Amino acid sequence: MDNSTLEKIKRFSESKINNINNSMHDSDHLERVRKNADLIVKTLGLENNIDINLLHSACYLHDVPVNMQAKYFLGAIGKHIFEIGIIRNNLPNILDKFPLSSYERDVLFESLLHHTFSIPYRQLNKKGIIYTKILQDADSIDYFSYQREQKLRSIKNTSFFYFLLFVISPLYFKLGRKVIKLFLNYPQITYKYH
């Protein structure tokens, strides 16, 4: 993937994410996932096995399809339950906005469709394509990150839901960091994140 296409995808993703009211899935989250992906690639020595721009595009786009609309049937629970279907429905229109080869389009579709549900369901992609595995692990690592915990602390008073999450978060984050390797396609990378 060329740098121009990557930059278009990054700008598009940031504009869509910043227009939603989801403080835990903002452009900072997208950037942390991208940095986590870079660290995974470096740790595993995969620099020559992937197109890094294509991986970065997957990182920037991974939360966009489920955040294209403001409301969902059954609210946040419905969004969670139907996440795969929402991605499947919204992603083709998103990918049509960019000059992608059929290979790039296939990789992005596969990666975004299957990056979900490692936490809490342990639906990993051990036999999936490398882009999916790296994206899923990069996102999972951010799930229990100190930055995410700090973000929750800063928004705890914006809704009753965030306040409840904040109340249980110290134990939740501590436990999550201890068992994160159970939720990764590449559990050997966990030592890099302590």
Is 138:34 a contact under the CB 8 Å cutoff?
yes
Kindly report the pTM of this predicted structure: 0.90
**Dihedral angle, C-alpha 48, 49, 53, 57, nearest 10 °:** -160
The per-residue pLDDT for range 79-132, each reduced to its tens digit, is: 667 788 889 999 999 999 999 999 999 999 999 999 998 888 899 999 999 999
Residue 146: both structure tokens together? 């100190």
Residue type, 9: I
Q: State the fold for domain 3-193.
A: Hypothetical protein af1432 (1.10.3210)
Residue 41: both structure tokens together? 């690639």
Q: Which residue has the tokens 């869509």?
A: 16
Count other C-beta atoms under 10 Å from residue 6's C-beta.
Answer: 19
Question: Residues near 51 by Cβ (< 8 Å), separated by ≥ 6?
Answer: 1, 104
The per-residue pLDDT for range 47-56, each reduced to its tens digit, is: 999 999 999 9
